[in-house]
Amino acid sequence: MVGDTPNSEKDGNELAEERTDLAEDRTMMAVERTMASWMGSGMGLIGLGLGLRAVFGEFEPWWVPRAMATFFMLLAIVLVQSAKNRMCGALARMSGNWVDPPDTRGIVYGAYGISLGALVMIAGVWLFFG
């Protein structure tokens, strides 16, 4: 399996510890995949907000489509930032055994980038769309 010693030569405690280490590694990878999913959902919310603004462009009163777009883009920011905080907290509590823990800097920068993009889109919706 993963360790150096064959399983037949290990006692129950060693096998249990190895299984626990492997479970922690799987959990670290699951946290990383979950964060990627939440980031994708955040980008989808930004697209939904922009799409609503485009669909209801000539709607009266004029501010309603902008407010709907702003709501979904702000929701994307909250979603991505809370997912980033949860991921960083979860990874800080775990240690890699056979798998190297992911470098959180890239994901943190990605979360801030998505949030900044949403803020720019909000400004664009209110300032540049007629």
Query: Over its length of 130 residues, how does the chain's per-residue pLDDT go in tens digits?
Result: 455 556 666 677 777 777 776 777 777 778 888 888 999 999 999 999 888 888 887 778 888 888 989 999 999 999 999 999 988 888 787 766 666 767 788 889 999 999 999 999 999 989 987 6
Cis, peptide link before residue 61, omega less than 30° from 0: yes
Taking CB atoms within 8 Å and a gap of at least 24, the contacts of 56-63 are 57/129
Q: Is residue 39 within 8 Å of residue 106, measured between CB atoms? A: no
Report field, pTM of the whole predicted structure over 0.85: no
Q: Is residue 47 within 8 Å of residue 17, measured between CB atoms? A: no
CA distance linking residue 100 with residue 111, whole number of Å = 21
Q: What is the pLDDT of residue 1?
A: 47
DSSP structure class, residue 57: T
Task: Name the token pair of 23.
Answer: 């479970």
Q: Is residue 94 within 8 Å of residue 27, measured between CB atoms? A: yes
